[in-house]
Amino acid sequence: MRSVSIVGVGLTKFGEQWEKSFKELIAEAGIKAIQDSGLERKDVDAVYGGCMASGRFVGQEHIGALIADQLGLNPVPSTRVEAACASGGVALRMGYMAVASGIHDVVAVGGVEKMTEVSTEDAGFALGGAGDQETELFVGASFPALYALMARKHMKKFGTTEEQMASVAVKNHGNAVNNKYAQFHRAITIDNVMNSGYVSSPLKLLDCSPITDGAAAVLLMPTEQAKKINDKAVEIIASTQASDTLALADRENLYETKAAKIAGKQAYEQAGIKPTDVSFAEVHDCFTIAEIMAIESLGFCPLGEGGKFTEQGNTQLSGQIPINTSGGLKGKGHPVGATGVAQAIETYLQLNGEAGKRQVKDAEIGMTHNVGGSGATAVVHLYKKA
């Protein structure tokens, strides 16, 4: 098994991109990544594209073929990967496995989602497919409601407060101000969050990540070759994935994301490190409570203390373990299929010292945590400069 590195990255601005279509978004990200790496299109052997619900959002399937076509990469094999909101992270894992196994040498991994062609209600319905559509969406439970049920339990069991959850949103929006690709560039306050109106109690509008268009892409190569073509290679030192029940009702409990815990533990084992060795992490904050549960699952703080840990500033840029310096899904935006890949890009920029005002000091080991649905899929990667 070979070591694999990221050698180039590219992403579009995240946000409501009325002027750009689905094809234009992925083409832009893909070409930028290839250019960034210094490689040429003919060097790419295979493509993996993460996309959750293009069928429902833009009536388009067969995304693998679409991406290869748009980037002028035919006839290389091109495969769509779907794992709900973890589509991007799992696509990254598939690309990693293809290079690590020796089957392919240069793999382009992309993620894309265009969510604004349809109404907000239809988008909510499409996203509902990340859960158990027949028993959750059917009774009127879409994603905010599912995470709200988890939040409510976390609050009851551990005393997590709405203000603590709000502090996640405040931090992430604050980080996004310094990210030119982010959807939002306005800092918010705890009061803003507390007054933003309930979507599904206790989650309020500003506890929820937005509806976003965007695409992101990275190029993967064996580390040995990567170091020869440019000096920015970032090595993937662990790649893990775990699954849990599709329906929230079948989970062991509502306050932990078991799949994330398992994937996290396996990642630390694979890389031979501990949580305290991680310099920063991009985690899946589709809702503020999700970030709190993520940092607990990944071992950055004990179970139940994620709220307090965040409130005390430990996950700020200047804190003990900066979380979501990119702005996270909350501040940067959440074009579902692209998110997992965008997380890897932030990690790449941080480890190369190119994160500008978001730069983490002495960044050595980065982590990404990408979750699908209400926790049914979790995919974790660890990285360090090659």
Residue 200 sits in the site that holds other proteins (CB under 8 A):
yes
Distance of CA 262 to the CA centre of its chain: 17
Adjacent-strand bridge partners of 62:
none
Compute the least distance from the CB of residue 199 to other proteins, in Å.
Answer: 5
From residue 59 to residue 78, the character string flagging contacts with other proteins as x (rule: CB under 8 A) and all else as - is x-------------------
Cα separation, 2 vs 148, whole angstroms: 42
Is residue 122 near other proteins by the rule CB under 8 A? Answer: yes
C-alpha distances (whole Å) from 297 to each of 87, 90, 283, 291, 380 are: 20, 19, 11, 10, 11
Active-site annotation holder among 51, 85, 208, 286: 85
Residues ≥6 apart with Cβ < 8 Å to 126: 53, 56, 57, 115, 118
- Among candidate residues 154, 173, 284, 334, the one labeled active-site is 334
Q: How many residues bind other proteins (CB under 8 A)?
A: 41
Name the one range near other proteins by CB under 8 A: 7-15, 32-40, 126-134, 342-350: 126-134
Per rule CB under 8 A, is residue 195 in the interface with other proteins?
no
CA–CA separation, 242 vs 240, rounded Å? 7
User: Site map for other proteins, 19-58, x if CB under 8 A?
Assistant: -------------------------------------x--
Query: Which residues on neighbouring strands pair with residue 379, listed in sequence order?
Result: 241, 370
Residue number, 66 or 246, with CB nearest to other proteins: 246
**173 belongs to the catalytic site:** no
Q: Which stretch binds other proteins (CB under 8 A): 65-73, 248-256, 273-281, 325-333?
A: 248-256
Quick one: which segment of 1-9, 103-111, 119-127, 297-305 binds other proteins (CB under 8 A)? 119-127
Distance, in Å, from the CA atom of 202 to the CA atom of 284, rounded to the nearest integer, reads 19
Token duo for residue 141: 């439970």
CA distance to 99, 296, 308, 324, 361, per residue, from 313 (Å): 39, 15, 9, 13, 16
Task: For residue 187, give the nearest of 199, 169, 205, 203 by alpha carbon.
Answer: 169
Q: Check if 85 is active-site.
A: yes
> Does 145 engage in binding with other proteins (CB under 8 A)?
yes
Q: Kindly report the backbone phi and psi dihedral angles of residue 5, in degrees, each rounded to the nearest multiple of 5, phi listed first.
A: -130, 155
Any contact of residue 152 with other proteins (CB under 8 A)? yes
Q: Which residues would be at the binding site for other proteins (CB under 8 A)?
A: 56, 59, 117-119, 121-122, 124-125, 128, 133-142, 144-145, 148-153, 156, 197-203, 247-250, 254
Catalytic center residues:
85, 334
